[in-house]
Structure 1
């Protein structure tokens, strides 16, 4: 049977014109037993469409690891380092992940108590909630009415020492059913978004760049982000804003001397825009919570200076300014009409181009709502490529 593709089912809130190329459901192939020829087609489809959905899949942890590794055969360890999140107790990722013992590159995530699962006698899983990470929260009364928030918009990446994974695979094993929830942005815009319970929400980094006005496109194409050392430990005492898109600047981040041992040479600095290896498109890919500094190149010779931001370049180290600039560039792309909230079913497998999208956990479960997913992403064998000189000339 030939590989077939169909558009993903978009919610009524989505603007179809912005999802023409985003996301496809793939039929007629078993992702756990792909031939080399089939994999090449899946790889092309993923980089073209950013997210692929396979329904009714039986997938072992070994098969999920092999599938994820096929996108980057030289990659080996889990995106944050095998077993690293469990050993780093201060990391904000620590409560969310449990490692599958025989395949340490695959993580068990979800909610509630899970027993006799792939070599784990028991695992207490905790669905991340905005109530423990945001500066403000939806009131318990409104939570009972079904209101919730995005948790944290991010890229799957250690952002220190290791290179960001190219692909993440998410496999739904136990998916509790329940009424839809309503995401409140709570940022003064009145924006709300109806989402399925426990959705994973995605936005396109390509769209995030394309909808920017010219002066912000120019800033993006000329900029690099320097991330804090051990960013998930650094940010742990701080609190996120109400959209989950970055952190409030209150001076709560851990000072350098209180972090685990670190070396400046292992800090990561990445371009704001990452180049798609198949389409050549530029994707705006910044993890706003971990960003510490912005480095802006000057305008290229002959570029129009009128209205340009930082025409002579800049090294921005003021955390509030860094965050404000990133928020200004990223917030438009998480508008309700640009978000794809996946409606999970048991045995759904979703592959997403981790260097082409941002995503977030959404919503909240009650303790007795058991959810179990397998997640795999692998620290890449190289860093993402940034804009070419031609790109800079075009957009700056």
Structure 2
């Protein structure tokens, strides 16, 4: 994870042609890049840079997921009319921005998604990781290679304590409204040799229409996966399911430049685990327990990069190498305005047995 501190000699992300190979190699090496003072970047330029990592890609990363009113993603994203691959996210009322008028943005709050919540009287001082995830539809469309975020307006000043509330006592001092990142490569490296072998040889099956399937379910207090309370939407109540769109992906994805393996799982929509011997674990509680046990060391406080956003920050992150989470609790009058872009990839990520020449 790296910032634009001289090692990446790029003056502006809006004129990236000559520098793209540098940016690409830096992204796959460092996973998170921060370019300062990029407030003039247009939505079109943001989309073009994001898509440059996979020129054959065209669709917004979550596809039509955000159009489904039952999806957990529906309230959080608004589409820029003249550049529909770019979304507006944030908090508070915005009278006009890039063709959108009189919009009210709502920063996700853990009390709407977690099984337990921090008491209201402590809300401005303490917070949680909302949901550790990768940006991906996980049904039909391949996970995006990269995501870009531009900070247009950032409320400053306050900091909060992000609590795990899982009995460990873990907590982390964070800037208000930070985006938290953890490395899937570190997450893999922290595993025991036995768990590494398990991770390399196992695949995860995601639920069909995953963000509708989990729309009534609640998260663990550390934001890393869901509590099993039987609240998932029955498959019979989901929109029509196309079997060939159900995704069964490796637990580990290989980096195209370094050859390293990342433990890259979106813990919330996991449904089954497919083991090397052909066994399928379909006990949902057990599946979640296994995935959480594997991933939890990788979100320990010392493993988290919590970005301290400033207006004009343009963050580019490797969506196939990191997990990230929204963090923070805003007051109603604290306005936060960001632009986000990712595009569904034209290909699926390589697993441990693939891309060995890169290693």
Fold match by TM threshold 0.5: yes
- Which of 275, 281, 285 in structure 2 is aligned with 1:316? 281
CA contact (8 A) 1:272 1:284 kept: yes
Residue in 2 that maps onto 1:228: 207
- Which of 81, 89, 97 in structure 1 is aligned with 2:69? 89
State the distance in 2 between where 1:115 and 1:245 align: 35
Tell me the CA shift for residue 225 of structure 1. 0.4
Gap runs ≥5 in structure 1: 1-21, 299-312, 392-396
Residue in 2 that maps onto 1:332: 297
Cα RMSD, aligned residues only: 1.4
- Which of 22, 25, 29 in structure 1 is aligned with 2:11? 29
Q: Which runs of 4+ in 1 moved over 3 A?
A: none
CA contact (8 A) 1:111 1:125 kept: yes
Deviations 1:246-295 (A, max 9, x none): 00001100001111122111101110000100110001100000100000
Tell me the CA shift for residue 164 of structure 1. 0.1
- Which of 22, 26, 30 in structure 2 is aligned with 1:45? 26
TM-score when normalising by structure 1: 0.87
Matching of residue 370 in structure 1 with residue 335 in structure 2: yes
Residue in 1 that maps onto 2:235: 256
- Which of 109, 122, 133 in structure 1 is aligned with 2:102? 122
CA contact (8 A) 2:254 2:355 kept: no
CA contact (8 A) 1:27 1:54 kept: no
Residue in 2 that maps onto 1:55: 36
Residue in 2 that maps onto 1:296: 275
* Number of positions where the alignment pairs a residue of Structure 1 with one of Structure 2: 353
Q: 1:390 to 1:267 in 2, by over 3 A?
A: closer
Matching of residue 201 in structure 1 with residue 180 in structure 2: yes
Matching of residue 158 in structure 1 with residue 140 in structure 2: no
State the distance in 2 between where 1:166 and 1:149 align: 27
- Which of 93, 102, 107 in structure 2 is aligned with 1:113? 93
TM-score when normalising by structure 2: 0.96
State the distance in 1 between where 2:20 and 2:127 align: 38
Q: Secondary structure at the match of 2:103?
A: strand
Deviations 1:210-267 (A, max 9, x none): 0111111111011100000010000010000100000000110000111112211110
Tell me the CA shift for residue 86 of structure 1. 4.3
- Which of 81, 96, 112 in structure 2 is aligned with 1:132? 112
Tell me the CA shift for residue 27 of structure 1. 4.7
Gap runs ≥5 in structure 2: none
- Which of 343, 348, 353 in structure 2 is aligned with 1:383? 348
